[in-house]
Amino acid sequence: MLTLLKLLKDGRFHSGEALGAALGVSRSAVWKQLQHLEAELNLPIHKVRGKGYQLASPLVFLSDEAIALEAPSLPWPVRVFDTIDSTNAEALRLVGAGCAAPFLVIAEQQTAGRGRRGRKWVSPFAQNVYYSLVLRIEGGLRQLEGLSLVVGLAVMQALRESGVQGAGLKWPNDVLVADRKIAGILLELVGDPADICHVVIGIGINVNMQKAEQVDQQWTSVWLETGSAVDRNRLVAQLGVHLKGYLERHKEFGFAALQGEWEQNHLWQGRAASLIAGASQIDGEVLGVDCQGALRLSVDGIEKLFSGGELSLRLRDDS
């Protein structure tokens, strides 16, 4: 099916006869493959008698060569998959198999993409960016302090460079436009964080997605914000360049050097919010973050610090 899709990717009409000849199959076999494409990948295909078949929108596939052309200075190899369960899961498998870090895993589609707190990450084919960068961390916990927040800064800058000027941050792992989610971050560790470990930096960005009935929260995409499709290879390259720069600063100076910049771009700064931890809820006013990336929350006039992977911050109705 993917061979057929690559013949159609230019967005032009192709006759069933020509497609069958290119694939070495009958026109009826082409018809069946087209039906599978629409059903399994949710890609609308126009069918016009006398003209043939045409994708509703042209597709540009992810390519390690195209990414390297856009950002030749990136120091990590890129592994591109058509369909995979999860880029983070594949990255962890490669670490377990002894693959040397750093390396990047990206995919056209995830069948079991996941976000924080076990949530499903909706991952339609060839529309978004599903990105997992693996780093080897030596020298202890300091290099992990505030890391997800640092990654958020890189994602935000790449989105702004792509025309999404309203992109901003939400503690701890989201990038929003107003109150709509456009990107999320999921960090996973393997090894001893006090000595030598690997961290998988998982990033999902809604790029050219225009419809997603399965998403259970307010969302947006680069296309919806800018009104046009974006070259995902260029966005992956831009993200890599920003990540490289922020990670180098973080490694040398720690999160404290980026704390001010992060707070300046935190969309919920000074707003009334609720911190959810399991069945518990803590109400307060968002003051910012400390030099290690923990949330600073004013609770009944007293500043308190919160950190942890299972915490969720939500705006209060009166904010």
Does an H or E element contain 113, and which? none
Q: Are 296 and 289 in contact (CB under 8 A)?
A: yes
Q: What share of the chain is helix, strand, coil (3-state, %, to 5)?
A: 35, 30, 35
* CATH 3.40.1010.10 is right for the domain spanning 268-315: no
314 as an active site residue: the answer is yes
Q: How confident is the model at residue 126 (pLDDT cuts 50, 70, 90)?
A: confident
Find, among 128, 155, 131, 130, the residue nearest to 209 by Cα. 128
Q: Is 87 annotated as a binding residue?
A: yes
Q: Which residue type occupies 240?
A: G
181 as an active site residue: the answer is yes
116, 170, 232, 234: the catalytic one is 116
| CB burial of residue 317 (10 Å; 0-12, 13-18, 19+) | exposed
Please give the Cα distance from 57 to 228 (Å, whole number).
11
Q: Are 122 and 115 in contact (CB under 8 A)?
A: no
Q: Is 232 annotated as a binding residue?
A: no
Q: Is 265 annotated as a binding residue?
A: no
Q: Are 124 and 212 in contact (CB under 8 A)?
A: yes
Residue that the structure tokens 């404290």 belong to? 256
Residue 284: the pLDDT is 95
Q: Is 206 annotated as a binding residue?
A: no
Record: fold of 64-263: BirA Bifunctional Protein; domain 2 (3.30.930)
pLDDT digits 0-9 by tens, 37-69:
777 777 778 888 888 888 877 788 999 999 999
Please give the Cα distance from 313 to 2 (Å, whole number).
40
- Angle between the N-to-C axes of helices 232-253 and 147-161, in degrees from 0 to 180, rounded to the nearest 10: 140
79, 170, 181, 232: the catalytic one is 181
Give phi and psi for 191, each to the nearest 5.
110, -165
pTM, full prediction: 0.90
Higher pLDDT, 64 or 8: 64
Torsion of CA 188, 193, 199, 202, to 10 degrees: 30
Please give the Cα distance from 168 to 69 (Å, whole number).
28
Region 105-129: mean pLDDT is 79
What are the start and end residues of each CATH 3.30.930.10 domain in the chain?
64-263
Residue 62: the pLDDT is 95
The contacts of residue 9 (CB under 8 Å, 6+ apart) are: 55, 58, 59, 60, 61
Taken in order 108, 229, 171, 240, is the CA torsion positive or negative? positive
116 as an active site residue: the answer is yes
47, 120, 211, 314: the catalytic one is 314
Average pLDDT, the chain: 89
Torsion of CA 15, 17, 23, 27, to 10 degrees: 110
Q: Is 98 annotated as a binding residue?
A: no
DSSP code string of 53-102: EEESS------HHHHHHH-TT--S-EEEEEEES-HHHHHHHHHHTTPPSS
Q: Is 115 annotated as a binding residue?
A: yes
Q: Residue 146: is its pLDDT beyond 70?
A: yes
Cα 249 to chain centroid, rounded: 22
Asked if the bond preceding 77 is cis, omega within 30° of 0, the reply is no
What are the start and end residues of each CATH 2.30.30.100 domain in the chain?
268-315
pLDDT digits 0-9 by tens, 255-296:
999 999 999 999 999 999 999 988 889 999 999 999 999 999
* CATH 1.10.10.10 is right for the domain spanning 2-55: yes
